[in-house]
Amino acid sequence: MDDAPERYEPQGPGTITDLQPQRKNPHRLSVFLDGAFAFGVYQDVVLEQGLYPGQRLSVEDQQAVLAADQYHLARARALHFLAHRGRTEEEVRRKLRQVGFGEAVTEQTLDRLRELGYLNDAAYARAYTQARYRSRGYGPRRIRDELRRRGVPASLIDEALAELAEQADPLEAARRHARRRWRRLVHEPDAYKRRRKLSDFLVRRGFEYDVIRQLVEELERDDDLCD
């Protein structure tokens, strides 16, 4: 899909002399004013705006048609973007701005996608949190950072993590990771480096520092009991 929205500035009033389907996109029509190509619009816009050959369009009329088309174009781009995987509102906002849509049409598009149920940051945060915890075993800090980068509001991140804490035990997940890593570090002769390597690993996995400290002490204590 072409990333750049079409740009056209009305130069003056004109009469529609033809409406022709575009070769590259049959859902769009080329509008000819006074015998010359002026701009392309979606078929839905032609119907909504009631365009027909012989119709006289003022500059204001053309601007209204173009604004309606920008909305349809932005919505199509957003739906194409959403087709690959779930997205947050902010991700879609960034994408639309990146390809050149203005603030007004971007927010109008987001409002409509929210109404249709295609955008739901609360549901996204819950699903993302559960998936990253269960499939990757990531801890709360990493999940929070990833959701924040995707533009999820802090309050929704808090709710998703609180729901996870009710259903799962992040400490137990961290313990599983810690034990596996600890066994792999058994040949490290320097006790400080072994602790440091384990701590760094758990930090990257996204676990809280108090949990990491507890697990390092626990594993060292277990080693002492086995000696």
Sequence letter at residue 39: F
Question: CB-based burial of residue 174 (10 Å sphere; 0-12 exposed, 13-18 middle, 19+ buried)?
Answer: buried
- In angstroms, the CA 97 to CA 202 distance is 37
Sign of the CA dihedral 174, 175, 178, 184? negative
CA distances (Å), origin 66, targets 22, 61, 146 = 17, 9, 37
Question: Checking phi first, is residue 167 left (phi over 0); if not, alpha (psi -120 to 50) or beta?
Answer: alpha
CA distances (Å), origin 103, targets 9, 171, 187 = 18, 43, 57
- In angstroms, the CA 86 to CA 34 distance is 45
- In angstroms, the CA 82 to CA 79 distance is 5
Per-residue pLDDT tens, the chain, 227 aa: give them: 554 566 778 889 999 999 999 988 888 999 999 999 999 999 999 999 999 999 999 999 999 999 999 999 999 999 999 998 899 999 999 999 999 999 999 999 999 999 999 999 999 999 999 999 888 888 888 999 999 999 999 999 999 999 998 887 777 778 888 888 888 888 878 888 888 888 888 888 888 888 888 888 888 786 654 44
- In angstroms, the CA 87 to CA 147 distance is 11
Q: What is the pTM of this model?
A: 0.77
